[in-house]
A and B are shown apart, each in its own frame.
Chain A
Amino acid sequence: MTGAPAGGSRRGTAVRGGARSRRTGGAAPALLLVPALVGLAFLLVPLLGLVLRAPWGELPARLASPEVLGALRLSLVCATAATALSLLLGVPLAWLLARSTFPGKRLVRALVTVPLVLPPVVGGVALLLVFGRRGLVGEHLHEWFGVSLPFTTGAVVLAETFVAMPFLVVSVEGALRAADVRLDEAAATLGASRWVTFRRVTLPLVAPGVAAGAVLAWTRALGEFGATITFAGNFPGRTQTMPLAVYLAMESNPEAAIVLSLVLLLVSVAVLALLRERWMGGASR
């Protein structure tokens, strides 16, 4: 075959290939397309409704109201504290699960993820039973230190941590498993103790995973409802976070509920955008 016809046929193939890929791209069977569009609408229409029904005119005034601001501030503070606590306890736990061997490790890993699937209200009941004034731990806390956790801001943080930490542990453990253990060995041969290795090699390597896990945990903590209302109650200014305020407002003042929901929606979208950036950054590296 000579050069020119070969080039011509190659060009022909490319055109045909392009046409074929256009056809496969467009032709989704109705059996898949219709449920897909219904599903999409189902996910988007409620959010759209929220945006359309929002009392945009009085939005600034309502946002500035002390109840909304108080709930928002409490939500942000508690979610951030819960994330900090999750980092403090969850990163070492993830390290233990990913990098060490001990009997019953598989069971421990399974137990760590239980709060992921447990109804949060059950978590709240369990926390109350343990940290309540008559509880396993709470009794001693009260007796020895005069501390009573339930129905305090501290209880909100604990409830949110209980629900959010597994997200962080799972994310960080995954990152640790993906990181090359041999880099830890290289650090050891250079004279680094296990702690120095963790701090200067392992942790920087899994930093993207830690960040993603922290954002997930923070979002989960911000939206936490069931465990909080069970363990911490619903006291404005002390334990009433945004989701609780939304729930309460729905009964007396639906307009306020919409405004609060809108704020939570905006925060969620912002977090999603942040995470996307993070993930895209990770993928390009």
Chain B
Amino acid sequence: MTLSADIRVTRAGDFTLSAAVSAPPGTVLALLGPNGAGKSTVLRVLAGLLPLDAGRVVLDGTVHDDPSSGVLTPPERRPVGVVFQDYLLFPHLTALDNVAFGPRCRGLSRGRSRQVAQEWLDRVGLGDLAGRRPRRLSGGQAQRVALARALATEPRLLLLDEPLAALDAGTRMRVRSELRRHLDDFGGVAVLVTHDPLDAMVLADQVVVLEEGRVVQRGAPREIANRPASRYVADLVGVNLVPGRGLGGDRVAVDGGALTLPDAPVGEVLVALPPAALRLRATPPPEEERAWPVRVVGLESQVDRVLVSVEGPPDLRVSLPTGAIADLGVRVDARFWVEPRAEEAVVYPRPVVDGPTSPLG
């Protein structure tokens, strides 16, 4: 299964979604983005629940939606399985009959579809709950039934809409690793919508970041985490992102000063600074222009470290060992100098993806 889709949809309230997604067989593609970015709309289009206004959806060389030539395959005839956000299990059917629903609709006999359903329930570890109605299943169990139901039709494209969002933290961790295992076994393309970067990191091979209906970044999870292209992604992965301009000769001009960063490209750049790559100093460093004067605006405890929010420019988050807070006398409204460790900074050209949005705007 190869997925290739160019999606253009205009919704009421002049929201326009314009995104291209493609994936080779065996890929797990995560759509990452804030609420209202258009992630679920992409899934609805791929499932056939929402027709395109322009563009096309092609699965394995078969065109399923193309307004210019009038092609539109209804959802029931697409090789697609969907795990919906709140699972949407049929409340009047048992877990077994929920899973058997798809195979039965695709032409299997009643007995055979139940057999297939039982096999799938066994595979997700719920074989002994086959007779239960959805209302008597826990969140994690319902999620697994929904996954079994989607996979039982042997789709070639699996769509998962926030599959873990409805679960509590403990369950989510367990279900996430189970999901990873099932996705590894799945031979087709899986598209996963999430706003949790951890989901994307653990489950996906490829990440597409959507903001306000546009793709602002795409790449491997590691790439997204190390070189975030937008403030949203940087906040998600917990990295400081500072826009700047490469002046040549390893010099980068940024708001509030300048940095010396080895191999900095010339032109518009982004500098990713992990919070642990920043130091707080009570006095200005000898080379003054390599540090920013800042004011502390917040403190947040994180295991053995403390995340200090400072106001610049630029606004940054600095991670310090808990002991250093006392040594330095860090408290709200205290003034310090922030000094970046150049060797831990990542500097890269500001990416231009899909159109004229300014990701830092």
* Chain A interfacial positions (CB closer than 8 Å to B): 180, 182-183, 185-193, 196, 200-201, 204-205
Contacts and interface: CB of A to CB of B under 8 A. Distances in A.
Nearest to B89: A186
A285 to B, nearest CB: 9
B76 A186 contact: no
Nearest to A187: B101
Contacts of A187: 90, 101, 105
18 contacts: A180-B88, A183-B90, A186-B88, A187-B90, A187-B105, A188-B75, A188-B76, A189-B48, A189-B81, A189-B150, A190-B105, A191-B76, A191-B77, A191-B102, A193-B105, A196-B105, A204-B92, A205-B92
A189 B90 contact: no
Contact of B88 (A182, A191, A192): A182
Looking at A186, A187, A201, the one whose CB has the most chain B CB atoms below 10 A away is A186
A188 B92 contact: no
A185 B102 CA distance: 13
Given A191-B76, A204-B92, A205-B92, A185 B49 contact: yes
B101 A190 contact: yes
Interface residues of B, number: 23
Interface of B: 47-49, 74-78, 80-82, 84, 88, 90-92, 101-102, 105-106, 149-150, 153
**Chain A interface, DSSP helix/strand/loop, else mixed:** helix
A188 B149 contact: no
A205 B43 CA distance: 26
B75 A189 contact: yes
- For the complex of A and B, the 3 pairs showing the least CB-CB separation, nearest first, are A191-B105, A190-B102, A188-B75
Given A188-B76, A192-B76, A205-B91, 12 more contacts: A182-B84, A186-B84, A186-B90, A188-B74, A189-B48, A189-B49, A189-B80, A190-B76, A190-B81, A190-B105, A190-B153, A191-B105
Nearest to A203: B92
A185 B48 CA distance: 10
A189 B101 contact: no
Nearest to A191: B105
A189 B76 contact: yes
A179 to B, nearest CB: 10
